[in-house]
Structure 1
Amino acid sequence: MKLTAFAGIATLATTMLVSGLVLAQSSGPVKSLRGTEVEAERPAPELYQQQEGREVRNYRQQPPVIPHSMDQYQIDLRTNQCLTCHDWTNAGDRGAPTLSMTHYLDREGNQLDTVAGTRWFCNQCHVPQADAPALIGNTFGSASQ
C-alpha cells in the first residue's frame, strides 16, 4: 500500500514538473525589467538638486523632510551624525530642530536619555527634499486642501 502511494505521488510530481517546464519554455524568452538588453548602455539618471529651506508637511504626523544634504553623513550601528545637531543636548546651540520626544521612548513607552534604538536610523522615515517628479502617479492631496 505504501509503495503504491509513493509511486502515485512520484508520478504526479514528475508529470507536474514536466508540464511546468513545457509551459515555461512556451512563454517566450526572458524579458528585461529595464526595457533594454543587459549589454545595452543606458544614460545615468538625472540628479535632482537638494532644496534648501523647510518644506511644509502634507498631513499630521508626517516625518519632516531633511532640508540639507546628507551626502557625507555616517549612520550605522555605532554612529549617527544627525544627532550632533538634532539631539536634545545639542539642538539649542546649533539652531537645529530638536527630535520629537517620541524618539526618546522605548517600545514599552519608557522615557530614555538617548535616542531609542527603534529610531536610530533617521533615513528610514526622513528623506532629503528635492524637486523630483513622483516615481509613480498618484492623486494624493494635502490634508489642508
Structure 2
Amino acid sequence: MKKQRLISALTIAAVVAAGGLAVAQQASNVKSLRGSQVDEYVPLEDNYRQEEKRFVRNYRQQPPLVPHQIDSYQIDLSANQCLACHDWSNAGERGAPTLSMTHYLDRDGNQLDSVAGTRWFCNQCHVPQAEAPALVDNTFNPSN
C-alpha cells in the first residue's frame, strides 16, 4: 500500500513538472504590454505639480478646482476637513471661498444648517488642479 502511494505521488510530481515546463516555455513568448522586457529600465514620465494659482472654469456650473494640496485631508463618514475652512461659519475668518448655498439643500430643496449628506464628499466633484497634458485625446472646447 505504501509502495502504491509512493508511485502515485511520483507520477503526480512528474505530471506537474512536465506541465510546469510547458508553461515556462510558453512564458518565453509572452509580450509585454509596455513594449519592453521586464528587467529593462523604463524612465518615468514627468510628475506634474499642483498649480497654486486659480484656474478658470471651462463651462458654466463647473465645480471649482482645488488650488491647494488635499492629500492628507480626512474626508469620510465621520469627518470632512474641507469644512474647517470652507463652511460658511469659518470661511470669513480663514479667507477661504464659502460653499455654494446648494451644498446646504437636502434632496427636497429644504435649507439645512449644515452641509447636506449628498454634498459631503467634496472630492467627488472638486479635484486638485494641475497643468498636465490630457490623458486621453478629446475634442472638448470651453464654452464662451
TM-score (norm 1): 0.70
- Distance in 2, matches of 1:79 and 1:58, equals 30
Question: Secondary structure at 2:141's aligned position in 1?
Answer: coil
* Aligned counterpart, 1:83: 83
Deviation of 1:46 (Å): 3.4
Kindly tell me the number of residue pairs found equivalent between the two proteins: 116
The answer to whether the aligner puts 1:55 opposite 2:63 as a matched pair is no
- Distance in 1, matches of 2:138 and 2:48, equals 20
* Aligned counterpart, 1:67: 67
Deviations 1:85-135 (A, max 9, x none): 000000010010000011111111111111111111111001100011111
* Aligned counterpart, 1:132: 132
Deviations 1:22-51 (A, max 9, x none): xxxxxxx99876566778775555321010
How well do the aligned residues superpose, as a CA RMSD in angstroms? 2.1
Question: Secondary structure at 2:92's aligned position in 1?
Answer: helix
Tell which structure's C-alpha radius of gyration is larger.
2
Pair 34,83 (structure 1): closer, same or farther in 2 beyond 3 Å: farther
Pair 43,89 (structure 1): closer, same or farther in 2 beyond 3 Å: same
Pair 53,37 (structure 1): closer, same or farther in 2 beyond 3 Å: same
Q: Which moved more, 1:39-48 or 1:135-144?
A: 39-48
The answer to whether the aligner puts 1:141 opposite 2:133 as a matched pair is no
Where structure 1 has 5 or more consecutive residues not aligned to the other structure, the ranges are 1-28
Pair 136,94 (structure 1): closer, same or farther in 2 beyond 3 Å: same
The answer to whether the aligner puts 1:96 opposite 2:96 as a matched pair is yes
- Distance in 1, matches of 2:48 and 2:38, equals 26
Percent identity, aligned pairs only?
A: 71
Deviation of 1:141 (Å): 1.1
- Distance in 1, matches of 2:132 and 2:121, equals 23
